[in-house]
A and B are shown apart, each in its own frame.
Chain A
Amino acid sequence: MSESLDALELRIAELRAQVRRAVKARDNTLARSLRGDLRRAEQAWDRAVGAGEPESPQEREAPLLPVREQVHQALALLGVPSAVRMIVAVNDAFFSGALRGPQLTSLRRDEERSFRGDPYARPYYLCAALTDRLSPARGLLADSTWEPERRVLGPLSPRVDFLVSAMRVADRLVRMTDPPQGARRLLRRMAQNIPGAVEGLAPADPETTIRAARAELEVHHAADVAQRAEVAARAGRQLSDAERLFGAVALSTLRGAS
């Protein structure tokens, strides 16, 4: 038993060296086949070493809601098109905490496929935000039930949306009697990028954050509304239903989402 383990370890070490030599020589075909051998050897080692002790079944609590509903929940809180990292952070801070970035990688594509197959069959779709060129913005998710102006972006929108989301996170904190640590940390992280929202290392005060964000928002608001209205109007004129939700490029993938 231990002999075969030794032999396996020797073989694993040899294979690793061979793989690395192949990689160094950029021999991809060889490297791939060697990696296959290596994985098999490692599995054999795993089996050999673990023989006798029962493999403990992976304990992972099943999330209560499907992924798309958890995303929807976070988006509803944020109220603006948001990046995957922000959605995961909000889920962590206020909800189940079971959402993982990689689960969202193909979400937008799945939603688009579903919509194109059977339009408006679902009460909402997790869709794209559209750039001023009417293409889907990289890495952002939006809610199809939002009014079109909210789902398009002008040059000022990323900042405006950040300020709005910070206000909404703060607002949620105001209404909680005992907000969780994670939620306060999230607010702090956001608040330190808003002038006047937080001082030094002190925890962020939600009311102050709202005031500070609103003050900066005043500066951008009018111009952003006008630019968004223009883009939304163009989208309304030029795009099909599906494109209005998922963007004007046929192949829309959620890039840079991890």
Chain B
Amino acid sequence: MSALTALARLRAIRDGVAQPITTVRHCHVAPQPMVFVPLALSGEAAAPLAAMIGTDPGHPRLLVVPQPRNRDLRFAFTAELAEVVLPYVEGFRKDTETVERRGGEPYERCLEAPQILVPNRQGAAFVGLLGRSTRFRRIDGPYPVHPSVPLLGRWLTYFADRSQQPGSCLLMAATEALGLHWATGQSGLEDANLATLVSWIDPPAGMTGAQAALEAEDPLLWPPAGPVTDPGFDNEVLAPAVHAYEEAPTEHSVERIAQALRTQLDPTWRLMWRAVELLRALPEGTRVRERWETDRGSFTRFTERLAEGGPPQARRDGAVGAAARLAGLERARASYDVQRAYDDPLVMAEYRLTGEAFAGTVTAADPEHTEGEGRSRKLRPLVTVTTADPVRQAPGTVVGSPDRRGHAAEIVEISGDEGVEAVEVVLKIVKGMGRGKSPTPGSVPEIGERVTYTSLTDDFQSSAALPDPELTPWTHGGPPQEYVPSDEDAQEEWS
């Protein structure tokens, strides 16, 4: 949260409608995403109750567990879910491209990857729980399940893990994707409600976002987006229907439960597709594609791991694995933040506010400026930028610019008073102007040009020096044993 976003929220209150906090879209929206709205039984850790799922807004598939306390019915549900999810996910495996890399073997990468959209963060967490509760099941032994169930479990676990990765779009929560782009006139806590969030962003005609959001809080009009259902619905509708099923488990009593659950899922299903449309309408940021390439690469590696017959993901990371994972997440977070700033002047504005970036007009330029003598004589063009932004960087700081890739400059001198359009920053360009006597055309900003410079850089930071997992010190438990799922995992009770 920055003053900029805070201001946008205030504006949203005054204008009665959500305000944009970006100028471009920072997440990938697949041509054919799979929307998944799961519901769970209240009070249970991972007892699926129902789900609406599919890739066609007009034809959702409704899956229902008529008695969620019955483990056989739960596994029947997961088998049905696998029937929908697995063909979708596996459909992306076939078409690949060969990626060349400098100093490495070329590798194969899937041309497209699946994208699963859930309503909210709890929905994504539920995907993980469902994965956790199914990936160790066995297809033989005392509690056999359909072969698709453990496979589904591994995929769901993969998607849930991947959604922790900043900037990854394989599994996205709609509230988070929307919240990344709009500020509403309600609190962050209330933004977790998909119905009110969409109401603020895109209120129906004749209503302000504020009014629409208030209406959207009524669970009778807009049932919660799950996985937890409305207690009123549980007590008044679902419980009697489940009871009737227990009395007489007929097709007809199943249909009654399905009907009831459909009323809870339908509105969210429609909201999800509206969210997709809202996101699609935004122009895509430049680096979204690169991040999606990373996602595609990750997806490809996981399909290979499955094909090689690797074991299911462990219950817990080992010491080194956990540290590496954490360091990886931190790097990804930093890099994602920088990428968004480079893609989007409004995000960059957050850094201008704190003095980590500045934008202004070039008022003087010496493109042929050189330093040194004789053989060590180097081209070092000088430009002077006049800005009204507070500049908090010291001379000597190396800065980059979203305007030019591969461009870097060093701050030479800062003069003048901030705030009165009078700060002058003299910059020496050190990278990206070519090796010739005079700069490559276009590589040095010209007088009158608007430019932005920032000390944020997306350099690949070398990972913290962590030992290989095999070299884990004994103080941290020693080398982890390869995770071999035990009978205990497979037979774990599911009551």
Contact = CB atoms under 8 A, between A and B. Distances in A.
Interface of A: 9, 13, 16-17, 19-21, 23-24, 35, 42, 46, 49-50, 56, 58, 200-201
Interface of B is mostly: helix
Contact of A50 (B233, B237, B247, B252): B252
Interface residues of B, number: 18
Residue picked from B233, B236, B259, B486, most chain A C-beta under 10 Å: B236
Given A13-B263, A201-B488, A23 B236 contact: yes
Contacts of B248: 58
A49 B220 contact: no
> 10 smallest A-B Cβ distances: which pairs?
A20-B232, A201-B488, A17-B220, A19-B236, A20-B236, A16-B237, A20-B220, A58-B248, A201-B487, A23-B232
A20 B233 contact: yes
Given A42-B256, A201-B486, 10 more contacts: A16-B236, A20-B219, A20-B233, A21-B220, A23-B232, A24-B232, A35-B236, A58-B248, A200-B488, A201-B488
Nearest to B260: A16
Contacts of B415: none
Contacts of A42: 256
Contacts, number: 29
B491 interface: yes
A38 B491 CA distance: 43
Contacts of B475: none
26 contacts: A9-B259, A13-B263, A16-B237, A17-B220, A19-B236, A20-B219, A20-B220, A20-B232, A20-B233, A21-B220, A23-B232, A23-B235, A23-B236, A24-B232, A35-B236, A42-B256, A46-B252, A49-B252, A50-B252, A56-B250, A58-B247, A58-B248, A200-B488, A201-B486, A201-B488, A201-B491
A205 B12 CA distance: 68
Contacts of B233: 20
A200 B491 CA distance: 13
Contacts of A200: 488
Nearest to B247: A58
A16 B220 CA distance: 9
A42 B240 CA distance: 11
B142 to A, nearest CB: 8
Contacts of A49: 252
Contacts of A17: 220
Contacts of B491: 201
Contacts of A201: 486-488, 491
Contacts of A50: 252
A35 B263 CA distance: 19
A91 B319 CA distance: 47
A83 to B, nearest CB: 18
Interface string B394-406: 0000000000000
